[in-house]
Amino acid sequence: VSPAESSGLSGPKLTHTVELSFAADSDLVMLARLVAAAAASKVGFDIEQVEDVRLAVDELCLALIRAHSPEGRLQLAFAWSDDTVEVVASHVLGPGAPAAAAGRRQPDEELSSRILDALVDEHGVEDSSGTPRAWLRVRRAQEA
């Protein structure tokens, strides 16, 4: 079951999907940005919104890496339709991986949250299944 399917985010109208998996290494997050830009371009987002999606997906990956250290693998599922892009990022951790740090959010995490709040329509995190996930949904901006 893909991350998108298991998250329940991928609805029937999201007809295109791409899945990406890589070691949770900060050097490789640029791969997620590349696919994010490609998906947003396919939907027909303008250049500014493509940039927004690229940054938002970067922040999605950062949220997982910050919380769970650069261990395991990141699996990203990109799904899009005529006017919407959805991304689910899952952090697949090996046995014995450290639990997420609890407590107050660090300043960088607060900045990350502000960025996501501003750039996407919906986003969230979930950690109920033992595999931490972060997701976002962004729709094409209406022309002024």
* Residues at the contact surface with another protein, assessed by CB under 8 A: 26-27, 29-30, 33-34, 37-38, 40-41, 47-48, 50-51, 54-55, 58-59, 62, 65, 107-109, 111-112, 114-115, 118-119
Give the nearer residue to another protein in terms of CB position, either 13 or 114. 114
DSSP letter (8 states) at residue 130: S
Secondary structure class of 143 (helix, strand, coil): coil
Least distance (Å) from another protein to the CB of residue 88? Answer: 19
Q: Are 83 and 39 in contact (CB under 8 A)?
A: no
- For another protein, the closer CB: 4 or 61: 61
Concatenate the DSSP letters of all residues of 48-109 into one string: HHHHHHHHHHHHHHHHHHHHH-S-SEEEEEEEE-SSEEEEEEEEEPPTTPPPPPPSSPPHHH
φ and ψ at residue 30, rounded to 5 degrees: -60, -25
Q: Which is nearer to another protein, 7 or 120 (CB)?
A: 120
Q: Which one, 7 or 59, has the nearer CB to another protein?
A: 59
Report the nearest approach of another protein to the CB of residue 58 (Å): 5
